[in-house]
Copies of this chain bind each other. A is one copy, B any other.
Amino acid sequence: MATKTPLLSHIAVVLVRPKNAENIGAAARICWNMGIERLILVRDSLPEREPMAKMATHKAAHLIDTLELHSNLEDALSHFSIVVGTTARRGRQRFVHQTPREMVDALLPQLANNQVAIIFGPEDTGLTNDDLKYCQMTSAIPTADFSSINLAQAVAIHCYELQYGIIHARKDMAPAPQLATSFELESMYTYLEKSLYTIDFIEEVSCAHWMGTIRNFFNRITLTSKDANIVRGICKKFLFHTESNLG
């Protein structure tokens, strides 16, 4: 029952600051079980190979040997246009959480023209709000009272839903357009933030709050590359204009 689809090659699993090498290996194994070939690590260094390779088994050991390593999340995500944050926490954040199944349903029309990163936080703390700011969607696995799921098992449930959703997707679905990459969005936000500083709309203490609200707004309308470049262009022009006037 081999089921493989080119859409799976548009998906990467990103482990953010994982502590245990075994979990990285177990994530590699389930990725390979489900036909997902890109595993990205955000971490200061690669952990020892042996415990990773052991959990990956020899069948998925090549994913361990081709692990992409990045020291920060922003770099790791730069080429992706859809970033999904996985979290156990509910209610405290500004995000609308979906179940993994709802997340996959929302993702399906986007997959043909976009690269998607599913990001998982460290075993003990999960993703921080600063990690989640790159995410257009979040996914929380429904649980009973005890909501903290083992990292490798959370990866397994998400990979399973992704593969299941993709192989059962309607064939006549209209594909959504290519969206702005994380790199294009972050560049836009940088100029937007500078501009809002310049006009004293935001200041040091309120910056994170307002930029969060603005990110939320743009996530709702899913920007294309062109959209992001227009917003960035306007901000750049405004900053140039203001500086010229000051000078």
Q: Which residues of A contact B (CB under 8 A)?
A: 1-4, 8, 26, 29-30, 32-35, 55, 57, 59-60, 90, 99, 101, 140-150, 152-153, 156-157, 160, 163-164, 167
Partner of A30, one of B3, B26, B153, B160: B153
Residues in B whose Cβ lies below 8 Å from that of A156: 149-150, 153, 156-157
A148 touches B1 (CB 8 A): no
Partner of A101, one of B32, B35, B141, B164: B164
Partner of A34, one of B99, B101, B143: B143
Give the docked Cα–Cα distance between A101 and B101 (Å).
12
Residues in B whose Cβ lies below 8 Å from that of A143: 1, 3, 33-35, 163
With both chains docked as a complex, state the minimum distance between the C-beta of A95 and any C-beta of chain B, in angstroms.
14
With both chains docked as a complex, state the minimum distance between the C-beta of A11 and any C-beta of chain B, in angstroms.
12
Additional pairs, 10, CB under 8 Å, beyond known A26-B153, A33-B143, A57-B148: A1-B90, A29-B149, A29-B150, A29-B153, A33-B146, A33-B147, A34-B144, A59-B148, A60-B146, A150-B156
Can you list 22 A-B pairs with a CB-CB distance of less than 8 A? A1-B140, A1-B147, A3-B144, A8-B144, A29-B149, A29-B153, A33-B141, A33-B146, A33-B149, A34-B143, A34-B144, A35-B143, A35-B145, A59-B146, A59-B148, A99-B164, A149-B156, A152-B152, A152-B153, A153-B153, A156-B156, A156-B157
Residues in B whose Cβ lies below 8 Å from that of A90: 1
Residues in B whose Cβ lies below 8 Å from that of A141: 33, 160
A-B pairs, top 8 by smallest CB distance, nearest first, are A35-B144, A153-B156, A33-B143, A2-B145, A59-B146, A157-B160, A32-B146, A1-B90
With both chains docked as a complex, state the minimum distance between the C-beta of A212 and any C-beta of chain B, in angstroms.
22
Closest to A157 in B: B160
A144 touches B32 (CB 8 A): yes
Residues in B whose Cβ lies below 8 Å from that of A157: 156-157, 160
A150 touches B1 (CB 8 A): no
